[in-house]
Chains A and B, each alone.
Chain A
Amino acid sequence: MQTLDQTVVDAPPGAVKPQRAPRVTAGFSRWRAPLSILALLTLPFLLPSQALAVNVLIYGLYAVGYNLLYGYTGLLSFGHAAFFGTGAYVTGIAIGAYGLHPLLAMGLGTVAASALALTVGAVSIRSRGIYFAMVTLALAQLVYYAALQASSWTGGENGLRGFTVSRIGLGPVSLDILDPQVKYLFVLAFVGAALALISRILASPFGAAIEAIRENETRARACGFDVERSKLLAFVLSGLFCGLSGALSAIHLSIVPLDSLAYHTSGMAVVMTLVGGAGTFFGPFVGALVVLVLEDVFSLWTPHWQLALGTVFILFVLFLPRGLWGSALERLSFRRGQS
């Protein structure tokens, strides 16, 4: 049988670009969640404070949730603070005003964030590119001002206070959440479970579908993928994990600042994801680590630390567009391909 193989042989020299090795991430995909959890276990020993380590976990998960939409589905949202903040507020209100068990309250916060994501997603999915970003930003601002107005529920400008969680009862056991190590492991348990779930989703046929949409939406639609519904599902999943990170942040801080709904919290997700490496599994954690450590360091030197952070971000976009982790993975796979 005649095949197109001859075409390959006949191609002029130079037409075939240098061979790139299969992506190294492919082999890791089964182990990426356990390896990530192991790496996160070492964080408290590497960072100056436990509080910073917990923040890296929480914002890392926030960025991972965001990355599901931006890095894997290819949708640039500027409104993810709405899901982070909703997760945090609903958790705090459920504990403070209704005396719910913290775990139940976290579940409620996560569900509320997912429901909000379903609404925001349904409205925004059909617009594209910068318009999509603007619609998500506008809707998130709506949520921000709603929280500001509903001060009897949310505490308005002062943020939500008065729901300090010190112990979390789990059947016969009662976790002393004020013990930094216990708190770290408590948060890590949720982050680890989320990572395992996300890894599984990314390796599933649905994961392949959203990647196809990111790579070539027109073609994905022609192949028979329901692009709109897949995008909406990715949006809801993304909101769910961002909501969970917000819920964890409420437990961690025992306060929900109004800032958690503000647009710069949305920007945080974008910056962390890009600095770490969009579309990589562990990149967002690297991004969260770098951004939070820099914020710590810069804010010691200058009240204008956001300016310094912004400069770092611009440098990253210009010179390391694949992010720290993305570039490291690429190097690794390139070296493997050569040897």
Chain B
Amino acid sequence: MNPVPQAPILEVEALGRRFGAFTALEDVSAVFGKERITAIIGPNGAGKSTLFNLLSGALAPTAGRLRFGGRDMTRVPQARFAHLGIARSYQITNVFPRLTAHENLRTAMQARASRYDFWSRRDALSGLAERADALLADIGLAGRRDRPAASLAHGEQRALEIGIALASDPKLLLLDEPTAGMGPEETKEMVALLRRLGETRTILLVEHKMKMILGLSERILVLHHGRLIADGSPAEIQADREVRRVYLGQSGGYGHA
């Protein structure tokens, strides 16, 4: 196993977000970096998406602070997040539909590599094309190199989605339901990919598939009504009364919250 960074990579301090009178997230504090893979769970409307949007800079917090690698990120614009090493994937596949798989990755890499260059040829940019090819092979899409993303199968688009997030070589990877809409076989492949990715970087993921989360993650955060109600190892979370009450009360089991 590769060494895991011991210093906290991400520090969340009393983070909150309100939309008008509605409080989507309140007083969430946590420190990340010791565990490779952390899952965030909670019933629908618990604030998972809001938390993800705050952690990826898509939304600015209305309360609290966010620190990444010791640097205050609270007022940093979203585009800088990718440059500093935070990348995210989306629950609904969010690729560049008319670009080919290869162009999707090359373009995503370019966002970090070059600023406003009007003159050089984009495909000749210092090894980006080769790196995109390598990443394409890594996520298992080498055979789909020149196909427009929109024409790929669902599982392939999900893989490309994660490939785009990986393109900036992030230290922190935020994955919003990476196995959404996948069958059991595809899910198994995705889990294997996530394990591999977790060896070299910190992963935070939102998921609904409890079995998968319990097997994959080292730590679980539970959100409910915008508050953090539990934070611990899978075993601790399974034994937690409050968590049981929330989940059993909602849907009668862990199956689909």
Pick the contact of A15: B120, B153, B164, B190 (CB < 8 A): B153
Pick the contact of A209: B98, B111, B120, B121 (CB < 8 A): B111
Q: Which residues of A contact B164 (CB under 8 A)?
A: 219, 223
Give the nearest-CB partner of A19 in chain B. Answer: B147
Interface membership of A170, Cβ < 8 A: no
Name which of A175-183, A184-192, A224-232 contacts chain B: A224-232
Interface membership of B69, Cβ < 8 A: no
Contact A220 B111 (CB under 8 A): yes
Pick the contact of A3: B81, B112, B140, B146 (CB < 8 A): B140
Interface membership of B247, Cβ < 8 A: no
Interface membership of B156, Cβ < 8 A: yes
Contact A224 B83 (CB under 8 A): yes
Give the nearest-CB partner of A279 in chain B. Answer: B98
Contact A205 B114 (CB under 8 A): yes
B-side interface residues, number (CB < 8 Å)? 62
What are 11 A-B pairs with beta-carbon distances under 8 A? A2-B192, A7-B140, A15-B154, A16-B152, A208-B103, A219-B94, A222-B58, A222-B81, A223-B111, A223-B164, A224-B111
Tell me the B residues contacting A by CB distance below 8 Å: 56, 58, 78-83, 87-88, 90, 94-100, 103, 106-108, 110-112, 114, 116-122, 125, 137-144, 146-148, 151-156, 159, 164, 167-168, 185-186, 189-190, 192-193, 196
Pick the contact of A8: B106, B148, B153 (CB < 8 A): B153
Contact B186 A204 (CB under 8 A): no
Q: Which residues of A contact B159 (CB under 8 A)?
A: 4, 7
A259 vs B146: C-alpha distance when bound (angstroms) = 46
A-side interface residues, number (CB < 8 Å)? 43
Give the nearest-CB partner of A229 in chain B. Answer: B116
Q: Which residues of A contact B100 (CB under 8 A)?
A: 22
Give the nearest-CB partner of B110 in chain A. Answer: A205
Pick the contact of A216: B97, B118, B119, B138 (CB < 8 A): B97
Q: Which residues of A contact B193 (CB under 8 A)?
A: 3-4
Chain B's nearest CB lies how many Å from the CB of A128? Answer: 16
A274 vs B185: C-alpha distance when bound (angstroms) = 44
Taking A7-B185, A204-B120 as known contacts, 8 extra A-B pairs with beta carbons closer than 8 A to each other, sorted by chain A number, are: A5-B142, A10-B186, A11-B153, A200-B118, A208-B110, A209-B110, A211-B107, A223-B108
Give the nearest-CB partner of B106 in chain A. Answer: A208
A201 vs B118: C-alpha distance when bound (angstroms) = 5
A5 vs B143: C-alpha distance when bound (angstroms) = 9
Interface membership of A233, Cβ < 8 A: yes
Q: Which residues of A contact B154 (CB under 8 A)?
A: 15
Interface membership of A331, Cβ < 8 A: no
Q: Which residues of A contact B119 (CB under 8 A)?
A: 200, 204
Chain B's nearest CB lies how many Å from the CB of A234? Answer: 11
Chain A's nearest CB lies how many Å from the CB of B97? Answer: 6
Pick the contact of B118: A16, A22, A206, A225 (CB < 8 A): A206
Contact A221 B78 (CB under 8 A): yes
Contact B112 A224 (CB under 8 A): yes
Give the nearest-CB partner of A206 in chain B. Answer: B118
